[in-house]
């Protein structure tokens, strides 16, 4: 039997208040509710109002996670923030979260793995706990994509939303009623730069420093080759889940819930079918929140724990893929 080193002690999430529906988007670009629903399963997404920044959303989710874990900010040994929409290029958004939480001095850094950022963060946090170096780690997935989306580009603007999700990972402890150990059973993370240019924000970095031209061409906004991503997403979400499961010796039908990155309902359905997992076991909220990139899995996890759908002892398989391309899977017994 796998002996987990770490356990999810608490979860939290934050969704900003503005609801932008497909009908709202019909007034902004040439699209329709029917097209968006059929191709993506998204009906509406949340947008952060002016004045709310990435670290605000991350901090709100982190506070909830700390409360659920019955810990205080002073208990944190490490803060990891997965995001591609930081407050600013420097310093890390994680240090603003640290400051806003009133946490003590401890390492705090950002992690750039796009939609897979939360799984990458979870995997890194697990290694620190496994090695005995650290005890309580805050892992946040947060995105304020509405500020980097080109609202004149119908091929991307309909997909994304803003939000934050957080977990506190702590040392393993406690067993389920049938004696199985609770905790993170496996993580598997990977990247492949071959498709690096399929999804990117090309301007504003060292390749094309910010200039009037970059701004005019909107190269500081998201650029995507959607079909490239679609194909690899189906394949790699399946393989990420399968490989994380193989590490535990479990089969897909032994899992209680699949908690997939919410990129597109069709991608989720294809990947679940390939795994042989029935729809009832696949957690979904993309209709309400759209694609919140690194925030999508921790938001989904938090919502389903709070609603009581995921119960103590349930096994959850998480999987994500995003720009990079980077992808990963994690199996956890709650």
Binding residues for ligand ACO (CB under 6 A): 31, 35-36, 39-40, 115, 154-155, 158-159, 199, 224, 226-227, 229-230, 233, 261, 263-264, 291, 321-322
Show the tokens assigned to 150.
Answer: 């080109």
329/245 Cα distance (integer angstroms): 8
Residue in the block written with tokens 């609603």: 307
Q: Which of 22, 136, 157, 261 is catalytic?
A: 261
Which stretch of DSSP H or E encloses residue 65? helix 54-69
DSSP collapsed to 3 states, 255-304: CCEEEECCCCHHHHHHHHHHHCCCHHHECCCHHHHCECHHHHHHHHHHHH
Q: How far is the CB of 235 from ligand ACO (least distance, A)?
A: 12
Q: How far is the CB of 101 from ligand ACO (least distance, A)?
A: 28
Q: How far is the CB of 141 from ligand ACO (least distance, A)?
A: 12
Residue in the block written with tokens 């908690």: 259
Nearer to ligand ACO, 31 or 191 (CB): 31
220 counts as catalytic:
no
Q: Which of 115, 157, 259, 319 is catalytic?
A: 115
Nearer to ligand ACO, 187 or 291 (CB): 291
Q: How far is the CB of 156 from ligand ACO (least distance, A)?
A: 7
Q: Which of 22, 264, 291, 304 is catalytic?
A: 291
22 counts as catalytic:
no
Is 139 within 8 Å of 69 (Cβ atoms)?
no
Nearer to ligand ACO, 108 or 286 (CB): 286
Per the document, the length of the chain is 334
- State the pairing for strand pair 223-224/183-191: unpaired
Nearer to ligand ACO, 106 or 148 (CB): 148
Is 197 within 8 Å of 44 (Cβ atoms)?
no
Nearer to ligand ACO, 226 or 313 (CB): 226
Q: How far is the CB of 316 from ligand ACO (least distance, A)?
A: 19
| CA trace torsion 12, 16, 20, 21 (10° rounding) | 30
Q: Which residues are catalytic?
A: 115, 261, 291
């Amino acid at each position: 039997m796998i002996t987990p080193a770490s356990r999810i002690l608490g979860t939290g999430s934050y969704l900003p208040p503005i609801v932008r529906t497909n009908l709202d988007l019909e007034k902004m670009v040439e699209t329709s509710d029917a097209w968006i629903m059929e191709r993506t399963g998204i009906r509406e997404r949340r947008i952060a109002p002016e004045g709310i920044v990435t670290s605000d959303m991350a901090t709100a989710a982190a506070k909830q996670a700390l409360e659920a874990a019955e810990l205080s900010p002073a208990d944190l040994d490490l803060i990891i923030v997965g995001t591609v929409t930081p407050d600013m290029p420097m310093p890390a958004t994680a240090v603003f979260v640290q400051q806003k939480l009133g946490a003590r001095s401890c390492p705090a850094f950002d992690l750039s793995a796009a939609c897979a950022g939360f799984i990458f963060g979870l995997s890194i946090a697990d290694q620190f706990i496994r090695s005995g170096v650290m005890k309580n780690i805050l892992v946040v997935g947060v995105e304020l994509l509405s500020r980097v989306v080109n609202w004149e580009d119908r091929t991307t603007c309909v997909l994304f939303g803003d939000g934050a999700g957080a977990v506190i990972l702590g040392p393993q402890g406690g067993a389920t009623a049938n004696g199985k150990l609770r905790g993170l059973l496996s993580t598997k993370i990977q990247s492949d730069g071959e498709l690096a240019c399929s999804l990117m924000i090309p301007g504003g970095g060292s390749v094309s420093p910010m200039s009037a031209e970059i701004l005019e061409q909107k190269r500081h906004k998201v650029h995507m080759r959607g079909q490239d991503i679609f194909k690899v997403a189906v394949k790699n979400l399946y393989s990420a889940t399968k490989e994380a499961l193989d590490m535990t010796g479990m089969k897909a039908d032994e899992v209680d819930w699949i908690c997939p990155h919410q990129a597109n309902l069709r991608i989720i359905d294809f990947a679940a079918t390939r795994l042989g997992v029935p729809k009832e076991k696949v957690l979904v909220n993309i209709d309400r929140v759209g694609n919140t990139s690194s925030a999508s899995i921790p938001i989904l996890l938090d919502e389903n724990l709070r609603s009581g759908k995921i119960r103590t002892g349930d096994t959850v398989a998480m999987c994500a893929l995003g720009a990079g391309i980077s992808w990963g899977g994690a199996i956890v017994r709650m």
